[in-house]
Structure 1
Amino acid sequence: MKDIGLIGLGVMGRNLSLNIGNKGFSVAVFNMTSQKTKDFIENEVGKQDITGYYDIKSFVESLKKPRKILLMVKAGKPVDSVIEKLIPYLDEGDLIMDGGNTYYRDTTRRINELNEKKILYLGIGISGGEEGALNGPSLMPGGSKKAYDLVKDILIKIAAETESGPCCTYIGNDSAGHFVKMIHNGIEYGIMQAMSETYDILGKVLKLSADEIGDIFEKWNEGELNSFLMEISYKIMRHKDEETGKPTVELILDKAGQKGTGKWTVQTSIDMGIPAVSLNAALEGRVLSYFKEERLNLSKKVAKDYPKDLYDKDKIIGDLENSLLFSNLILFSQGLWVMSEGSKVNNFDIDISEVLKIWKGGCIIRSKMLDFMRAVIDEDKENVNLLNNKRVLEFLMTRLDSIKYITNIARNFYIPTLVHNSALDYFFSMIEGNLPANFIQAQRDFFGAHTYNRIDKGGIIFHTKWE
């Protein structure tokens, strides 16, 4: 009898199966397309105790009770479809886990539906891509503690490991795991957009080659910007297309795809009334990139008057590094604020410090900055957006002139810097005691009698007859 079953043999599913097998657990695998199962068993499975099954019934019957089944299928209706096929063969106390990028509210619904059948359910956020799945991802399981305890030993052993411990922890109640993975991806969108804007400035302002930009990224990766995304970026910049010999990155069409998690993060922040303007800007950056034809047409109609002055190369590179650090901290700040509010609203009981710890290894947004933020959170767990901390404010203020300089240069060269600009404006908004919202309230009261409060008469609502 097998320790665990896995359904869905795409790249992530195959690699997770091998990872589980490599850690000494026996695995039953199943895929809706039988040929995929056959190819996987014959071509990729070695000494691991992994067996392929070609119908749901025999797959389920091969598992030790209580059964533990991990779904690695496309989010949405495919998950519901697989669950429907499994239910007739499951017993009370069996466990289904969803390891896909599922919208957290769908996970809540499934938990409630399966709870009526006394079947356990975990929503597990998995980050790390195909390499992480094979060698150790960051795992974010959410659901009942009883469900987590059933599979805890397996999850901890297959997760990445850092000096702080395994990159897996019980995230919290209900759909907390998929909620945290959603926020992770929203932050990921932001960091990637900020890095792309940095790459754009290095190329268009300083006229650096792909190799030269790769050298800068590698140097940055040795310092405070050390991260998985920076590491892969300098490797990307140096990769050459075999056919043309040109940098591969320069041959890629500038239309960025997305699978929905960034959009869900922004929608959730809006629903909860938490400002996440830079996360939103990153999402809009991907949307804007998709309108390639419109952008090309307009680019031919607008004459651009570029600066004639020569810029100090070393200064721009140094200020770009600081601007990117500033932007990244703001992106994390906004994401953690949404996470904290979501935990309260949904009774997830998320320990943000623990989340930052398990993001240190395996996951896409692992970075040196996580230790700094974790220390800040541990000092004051109520500091939900990090900004109410002396060290955080010093970090941002020492880089403020850099990001102001960089965003001004970008404007002079007609380079859109959505994340860098929005990070700066967000910070300005958060440190401004008097925003012009009083003017908006006056307008609202004028045309709609929406009323307002006064600064000199607290607790009383006013309406003015403006004409």
Structure 2
Amino acid sequence: MLRSAHSADIGLIGLAVMGQNLILNMNVLICLEISIFSCSAPILDKGFTVCAYNRTTSKVDDFLANEAKGIVPEPCSELLEIKSCFLTPLLPPSLLPIPFCAAPALRGFSTLCWHDSIVGTNVVGAKSIEEFVAKLKRPRKMILLVKAGPAVDAFIEQLVPHLEQGDIIIDGGNSHYPDSIRRAKELEAKGLLFVGSGVSGGEEGARHGPSLMPGGSDAAWPHIKEIFQKTAAQSDGEPCCDWVGQTGAGHYVKMVHNGIEYGDMQLICEAYDILKHGLGLKESEIGDIFTKWNTGVLDSFLIEITRDILKYNDEDGVPLLTKILDSAGQKGTGKWTAINALDLGQPVTLIGEAVFARCLSSLKGERTRASKILGGPQIKPFEGNKEQFIADLEQALYASKIVSYAQGFMLMREAAKEYDWKLNNPSIALMWRGGCIIRSVFLKDITAAFRKNPELENLLFDDFFNKAIHDAQEGWRRVVAQAILWGLPTPAFSTALAFFDGYRREQLPANLLQAQRDYFGAHTFRVLPQYASAKLPEGQDIHINWTGRGGNVSASTYSA
């Protein structure tokens, strides 16, 4: 086991699986004797020294004695291929990718030989908060990976008395962004810096490269940038990590990420339902369709794992998926996104419907009773062209995803105004391209759209996405219409299409709605410019005595 005599570059509190894996990601040390003809050079992977602490101190001892101890692989004489700035196969997957920028002499060679290797870690432990703080380099950088809520505040309260001006507390948990806004303000008032960072990718992402979304005190970023960007996943040679914005921006962007994740998953579930119950396909056949989809515009982590799930059989040869209770759980981040969209007046309809779909699924008992009482269409064998319908379904899924992401970026744009954040949309899209649950090829196009026009008002206004959704909409409409005729619920597909149709309409029936509000509640209305007059002045809130029996005093104005 390798131990540094110097102070730790960063500390981490919370040794559950995510915490342990993130530590190993940040500090794994790989010393390879590389022979290229007569040349040899060591290669270092990250190699940051990390101080580990846990409230239950026995976990620190266990971690240091086991996971953080390091391994010694067998010598190998196989050839390794250099691709760009990385050594690729024949190393254990847990040790990839390995930057060789520390050994510039290796650049330009196509092959090299791995003779000897020692793998170790630079992890030091602490048994108390005082010892933990004392082992950190200044300015001290501390990551909290503990349960969101009171536990975060409790650890901050314990840390603060031992810190100095400019020290940095980083909350890497799944905190709600208002808590991060509050913590940033409280700590900055004490001369300390705060970062609330979204971490996506689960346990595997934490170990091999997550998507990191840090935001908070701007002054903290230069001190943590190198560690964060080297720890994060890489996509096309770029780190899936950049500074998001101020106060609670990091956790806000992670919240929206999770909301979009809800939407993506619901869309995929609806596609599965249509293929299984509409077209009558078996899980293995649907798995083949998802395999094909994963080679095109839908290429993504969620499509990939859905393919694997569909092809996974239990010991009796029956698809395991068919044995799983159809009642979905949720941790609340999708709900947070939907509630915030309502608070900010943004029509993030797809995420909202995805949350409600999970709520409906949880009513298993009621649905079972309803299935015996409530009538509806009986699904008949599909008589059309199945291949064409499957192609339509692929287009419907693609178009609905475009709408979902467009809504997510609409929400973040409004949040930036509301909370005075300077959000970087191209960087946000880039951060989601690798390491996270919603990673996909599709995000490259979103990154390109915002790089071309950082002030893009809506993703649907970009030429690429405008054309994509135009080309997809005929098939999209056929799928939604057929699902309705079958009686199959498609809340995500349907609401995405309804949003698209509403968004592209210059005139909506909200004029009648506002007249109704004024009729029964004197809530006023405004008149279209071309119909302005002395009686109906332009730009003013107007109340009409619709019946002659009401008064002329308006109840309140409205925001139009």
TM-score, scaled relative to structure 1: 0.96
- 8 Å Cα contact 1:445/1:451 also seen in 2: yes
Report whether the alignment pairs 1:81 with 2:104. Answer: no
The change in CA–CA distance for 1:49 and 1:385 in structure 2 (over 3 A counts) is: same
Q: Tell me, in whole angstroms, the C-alpha distance in 1 between the residues paired with 2:318 and 2:162.
A: 55
- Give CA-to-partner distance per residue, 1:82-128, whole Å, 9 cap, x none: 11122222222211101111111100100111112212110111111
Deviations 1:146-197 (A, max 9, x none): 2111111111111111215111111112221111111111111111111111
Q: Are 1:9 and 2:81 an aligned pair?
A: no
Q: Distance in 1 between matches of 2:57 and 2:320?
A: 35
CA distance in 2, matches of 1:106, 1:309: 53
Name 1:310's counterpart in structure 2: 382
Note the 1:47-62 alignment, pairs <5 A: 47-62=120-135
Structure 1 residue aligned with 2:56: 33
- Which blocks of at least 5 consecutive residues in structure 1 are unaligned? none
**Separation in 2 of the partners of 1:380 and 1:25?**
37
SS in 2 for 1:459: coil
For 1:176-195, what aligned pairs fall within 5 Å after superposition? 176-195=249-268
Partners of 2:494 and 2:158 lie apart in 1 by 49
- Relative to structure 1, the CA distance from residue 300 to residue 33 in structure 2 (aligned partners, 3 Å threshold; closer, same or farther) is farther
Q: Is the 8 A contact 2:50 2:124 kept in 1?
A: yes
Q: 1:270 aligns with which of 342, 352, 357?
A: 342
CA contact (8 A) 1:137 1:363 kept: yes
Partner-residue secondary structure (3-state), 2:373: coil
**Cα distance change, pair 219–275 in 1 and its aligned pair in 2 (3 A):** same
Look up the match of 1:285. Answer: 357
> Displacement of 1:309 after TM fit?
5.0
Q: 1:44 aligns with which of 64, 67, 79?
A: 67
- In structure 2, the partner of 1:204 is 277
Higher normalized helix content (fraction of residues)? 1
Query: In 2, distance between residues paired with 1:460 and 1:90?
Result: 56
* Matched-pair contact (CA < 8 Å) for 1:322–1:403: yes
Return the alpha-carbon distance in structure 2 between the equivalents of residues 87 and 418 of structure 1. 48
1:98/1:410 Cα in 2 relative to 1: closer, same or farther (>3 Å)? same
Give how far 1:321 is off.
Answer: 0.4
TM-score (norm 2): 0.81
Alignment of 1:143-154 (within 5 A): 143-154=216-227
Distance 2:339 2:545 in 1: 36
Tell me what 1:464 maps to.
544
Total equivalences in the alignment: 466
Task: Tell me, yes or no, if structure 1 residue 401 matches structure 2 residue 474.
Answer: yes
Partner Cα separation in structure 2 for residue 66 and residue 373 of structure 1:
36
CA distance in 1, matches of 2:55, 2:476: 51
Stretch of structure 1 that moved more, 330-339 or 206-215: 206-215
Segment of structure 1 superposing worse, 308-317 or 18-27: 308-317
Sequence identity of aligned pairs in percent?
45
**Is the 1:164–1:357 contact (alpha carbons within 8 Å) kept by the matching residues of 2?**
no
Q: Which moved more, 1:298-307 or 1:25-34?
A: 298-307
Contact 2:249 2:421 (C-alpha < 8 Å) held by counterparts: yes
Which residue type is aligned with residue 17 of structure 2?
Answer: V
Q: Please tell me whether Structure 1 or Structure 2 has the larger radius of gyration of its CA atoms.
A: 2
Match among 491, 504, 516 for residue 443 of structure 1: 516
Q: In 1, Cα distance between the equivalents of 2:379 and 2:491?
A: 21
Q: Residue 453 of structure 1 aligns to a residue in which SS? A: coil
Are the equivalent residues in 1 in contact too, given 2:126–2:132 (CA < 8 A)? yes
Q: 1:102 aligns with which of 162, 175, 180?
A: 175
| Distance (whole Å) between structure 2 residues aligned to residue 287 and residue 151 of structure 1 | 39
**Distance change in 2, residues 1:229/1:326 (3 Å):** same
1:248 maps to what in 2? 320
Structure 2 unaligned spans of 5+? 1-6, 29-45, 71-119, 533-537, 548-560
Q: Which of residues 228, 245, 258 in structure 1 aligns to 2:330?
A: 258
Q: Which has the higher contact order (CA 8 A, sep 6+)?
A: 1
1:360-409 CA distances to partner (integer Å, 9 max, x unpaired)? Answer: 11111111111222222233333232122333222112111111111122
Distance verdict in 2 for CA 1:292–1:96, change over 3 Å: same
